[in-house]
Structure 1
Amino acid sequence: MPAATDGSTPLSSTRIRLALIALAIGSFGIGTTEFVAMGLLPDIARDLLPALFADSAEHANAQAGWLISAYALGVVVGAPTIAAFVARYPRRYVLVILGAAFTIATVATSLAPTFETVLISRFIAGIPHGAYFGIASLVAARLMGPGRRARGVALVMSGLTIANMIGVPLATFVGQSFGWRSAYFLVAIVFALATAAVWFAVPQQPGDAGQTMRKELKAFTRAQVWFALLIGSIGFGGFFAVYSYIAPIVTDVTGESAGLVPWVLFAIGLGMTIGNFVGGHIADKSVKLSLFVFFPLMLVVLVGLALTAAWLPALFFFVFATGFAAQGIGPTIQTRLMDVAGDSQSIAAALNHSALNIGNALGAFLGGVTIAAGAGYLSPVWVGAVLTVAGIALAVLSYATESRSAASRGVKPLDQNAERADAAASTRS
């Protein structure tokens, strides 16, 4: 663990580890609240849409998928606006306020009485998501030091991936046993604990006093920022098209009981946890290499899942592989955005989560459309494969455009100057 500072005082390795763990606890809560609906979708549909569920479980499940999209859209709206606004403020204070907002919004979800009010509460709960991950990633990158930024991002995101391995299956089990509302109440407790941990363990890091919202928003004038956002949102939508409907895939395609759903979610989470760290390691060497390893792998495993999901061992293998490939992309896109955003580091770090949650909303929506059209519960997997192909095409176009631009200016493309870009970005953060 490298020596690091909070801006004035050297920090011990133990203090750095505690700070990273505190940040990861927050991301653990975020991962659980974001994804728990996937495992409880039929329970939520049955409770909030009883008439529609009695008439057509498929249509009710598809409509309940709107809750996933609502949270994702909250992330999309909140990430750039909050991150740009808070860039000048001390980062620990910002993280504590965001943690408190998560706690309150998740309690509201557990208490909301109707589908419409739950929909609104999920949108509100998503608003702090991207800003938390963005600011936490900048804090972690500074703690880790130059040359290890992507691994710092991966450590923050490890809470999210562990949530998919432990938090989501556990919350799904609690929700199936005691009602879906109890799952969200459990998540609210996690957020309260995370907020306290951040307050006590994370060292204060100053914001950029000279930064303004206008300066942060300059990121949107950079073509490569838009490419990175499109790659993340469209390409990652392939994962969410599958994940959003994993519960009915288990019960209706594989023919297993709902009690197996938490174990399938565990397999996805295990794959995500391993893929997150592998992706962070590869991205620190080459973001380009990481993209062109994980996206083609994602396409292969989605096709494999679509062809073999009726066989239980194959289901477990391919959902694990799907999680591995998808989460390998996470720290890669995060690092790419930080590299191409210039001085707009706060908004760049948060925009990654806007991109991924556009993918969340897009995948859940398109998967729901195909299910409602009668194409069956495997149709979202094929939707995911198509979106992944689009993500690969965008990555190719992005790097081709960057190479042409660099050649015209007589400089090397960014990914070939990784150490220089890494050190510069670390200094800006």
Structure 2
Amino acid sequence: MPLAVYMLGLTIFSLTTSEFMVAGMMPSLTQAFDVSVTQIGHLISLYAIGMVIGGPLLTCGLLTLRIPNRKALLWLLGFYAVAQAVAASATSYDIMAIARVATGVAGSACFGVSLAICAEIAAAESRGRAASIVIGGLMLATVLGVPIATVIDQHWGWRASFWLVVALSVLCATAIIFLVPCSRASETVSPAVELAEFRNRHLWAAYATSGLIIGATFAAFSYFTPILTEVTGFATASIPWLLGIYGAANVVGNMVVGRYADKHTMPIMAWGLIVLGAALAVFALFAQNQALSLAALIVIGLVGVPMNPAMIARVMKTAHPGALVNTVHTSVINIGLGLGTWIGGLGISAGLGIRSPLWVAVALAVLGLLSLLPYLARKTANGTPCADQ
């Protein structure tokens, strides 16, 4: 696997640390901006909104200008670093909210361009594995980035965590200059060519399943900290280690899924959703039990976010894996992330209890499995999955 693929993984690590670290510093941000836990949870949703709306538009602009993917990624990382610096310097909730939207816009385009570069430099039969390495940055963000950011928050304040991400963004941009191969502007696909891919209904079916999988996972993850402290009874100081365990499970799951995502795409997602739904239900029913909660946390970590390589492999089999197709995929995933977090917060606000996001997650996992049923039923004469699956 080219070294550049691993560098793209480090880039995703930097972006994802910023996106998810709010979940581990909810108490500090609640106190800093004098707002509710639900409003802090909305900062995750706002980041996702930026990814959903701004990412595809920004990517279309880059395609229209026929900017090579490597140069586009460098520009996007520069914009991301500036927006993240504004977040680190925020003195009010409104400024922080605007900065989160801006980083989401840049982050979505970075995801799409990074995966497009990945598809360019990896062999077609290894794209799922290459994608698992790039998305491995997302897993490492949960096992290293988010816990480290939480520890920094608890010892040096939340601003220090945000400035750390600024430094990582600059480091990644510098490394990309030297390690990612240049591409010619003539190789850049036009917006019209990429837009034609969206007439494929199977692509939208793949997008829908991806959104539901991530929605189910993050409806729960976004509220792990208050659930584990207020219901399960873990001390606040133990949250970084619990998030680290969850992140380690993400890494292990991603390694396994990435190895088999190209050949067993649909079975991975189907069984993954079944196990994810069961683990979420156990967590919701027995959240007051520390042993069962920890076990459920680990299982959710193993099968939730680690389905990403299979999701990406499915999209890359269904349509040309250009920057816009991948960016829209990222946007759809973040629609699920944002809606899951938002609906879970509504349950808490409505007085349904701090564990209500877990039941929202169960419902989304069931919907995700239902979205796969038409494709699981479609087989060729020799019993193998159809090519568009």
Q: With structure 1 as the length reference, what TM-score do the two structures score?
A: 0.85
Structure 1's 289 and 376: CA in aligned 2 closer, same or farther, altered over 3 A?
same
Aligned residue in 2 for 1:354: 331
CA contact (8 A) 2:68 2:185 kept: yes
Aligned residue in 2 for 1:6: none
Q: Which amino acid aligns with 2:29?
A: I
2:254 and 2:153 mapped to 1: Cα distance?
A: 27
Aligned residue in 2 for 1:29: 14
Moved >6 Å (runs of 4+): 411-414
Q: Which amino acid aligns with 2:9?
A: A
2:135 and 2:286 mapped to 1: Cα distance?
A: 30
2:61 corresponds to 1:85: yes
Residue 209 of structure 1 deviates from its aligned partner by 4.2
1:218 and 1:130 mapped to 2: Cα distance?
A: 21
2:9 and 2:257 mapped to 1: Cα distance?
A: 17
Deviation per CA, 1:189-239: give whole Å up to 9, x if none: 111111111111111133554632232222332211211121111232111
2:44 and 2:382 mapped to 1: Cα distance?
A: 41
Residue 398 of structure 1 deviates from its aligned partner by 4.8
Aligned residue in 2 for 1:287: 265
Aligned residue in 2 for 1:229: 207
Aligned residue in 2 for 1:182: 160
Deviation per CA, 1:38-78: give whole Å up to 9, x if none: 011121112112xx5xxxxxxx1012111110000111113
2:28 corresponds to 1:43: yes
Q: Which amino acid aligns with 1:47?
A: A
**Number of equivalent positions:** 387
Aligned residue in 2 for 1:331: 309
Equivalent residue of 1:358, what SS?
A: helix
2:303 corresponds to 1:318: no
Aligned residue in 2 for 1:94: 72
RMSD, aligned CA? 2.2
2:158 corresponds to 1:173: no
Structure 1 unaligned regions, length at least 5: 2-15, 53-59, 422-429
Structure 1's 211 and 181: CA in aligned 2 closer, same or farther, altered over 3 A?
same
2:279 corresponds to 1:301: yes
1:383 and 1:208 mapped to 2: Cα distance?
A: 46
Deviation per CA, 1:160-197: give whole Å up to 9, x if none: 11111011000011112222122111111111111111
1:417 and 1:256 mapped to 2: Cα distance?
A: 47
1:397 and 1:90 mapped to 2: Cα distance?
A: 38
Residue 294 of structure 1 deviates from its aligned partner by 1.1
1:67 and 1:48 mapped to 2: Cα distance?
A: 12
1:236 and 1:32 mapped to 2: Cα distance?
A: 16
1:333 and 1:83 mapped to 2: Cα distance?
A: 21
Aligned residue in 1 for 2:322: 345
Aligned residue in 1 for 2:231: 253
2:361 corresponds to 1:384: yes
Q: Which amino acid aligns with 1:214?
A: A
Structure 1's 84 and 281: CA in aligned 2 closer, same or farther, altered over 3 A?
farther
> Which of 347, 361, 379 in structure 2 is aligned with 1:370?
347
CA contact (8 A) 1:84 1:216 kept: no
1:164 and 1:39 mapped to 2: Cα distance?
A: 10
Structure 1's 412 and 111: CA in aligned 2 closer, same or farther, altered over 3 A?
farther
Aligned residue in 1 for 2:222: 244
CA contact (8 A) 1:98 1:128 kept: yes
Deviation per CA, 1:410-429: give whole Å up to 9, x if none: x99995448xx9xxxxxxxx
1:207 and 1:118 mapped to 2: Cα distance?
A: 36
CA contact (8 A) 1:90 1:206 kept: yes
> Which of 203, 212, 232 in structure 1 is aligned with 2:181?
203
Deviation per CA, 1:279-323: give whole Å up to 9, x if none: 222211121122112111111111121123222232222212112
Structure 1's 413 and 118: CA in aligned 2 closer, same or farther, altered over 3 A?
farther
